[in-house]
Structure 1
Amino acid sequence: MKQAIVVRSDLGMGTGKLAAQVAHAALSAVEHANSDTVRDWKREGQRKVVLKIDGERALFEIQEKAKTAGLPTGLIRDAGRTQLDPDTPTTVAVGPASDEAVDQITGSLSLY
């Protein structure tokens, strides 16, 4: 089992900002997962992978594919207090779910 967190590479976020957005997305998706899935994922080490994507539209497409597949997702929009404009979509998490299910949605993306 794993979770993929997809980050927009076109925003030029600083390291700290990027880390915060990834954390927000990871937690958000877990909140939408069923308890058995979360338990199994935790037991297996809470594996995560951070991937990159270019652009807002592509980020929304990943989210839509995950929702259609019935996978938990968490899309994050920045509050706009530091580096980005308010409501800027930054990241989306897919899973936790089986490796195969997550890979069907994010398998073509590169590591961040």
Structure 2
Amino acid sequence: ERLKEILKERELKVYWGTATTGKPHVAYFVPMSKIADFLKAGCEVTILFADLHAYLDNMKAPWELLELRVQYYEQIIKAMLESIGVPLDKLKFVKGTDYQLS
């Protein structure tokens, strides 16, 4: 209800981030359910893949695998949201390395 009130006055932008340190698992449905609520309400949602953070976190993601992990996370997250009928037209993804290394 509160979201709909805000959206009548202005666009609402949501930003959520995750480090690509391992495989997404069933617990990802917790934040995805909230992201789904925002997308269904018409909010713009940006998901940050903290790939550089994952690399620097005790080398949990080898440099050579950073891009592949980001692609994997994006596919998994889209599939999770689509599986519960969420529109993806206002969803976008960014990578930390797109701006943290410049």
Larger RCO: Structure 1 or Structure 2 (Cα < 8 Å, ≥ 6 residues apart)?
A: 1
Normalising by the residue count of structure 1, what TM-score does the alignment of the two structures yield?
0.33
Structure with more of its chain in helix, by fraction: 2
Asked which structure has the greater CA Rg, the reply is 2
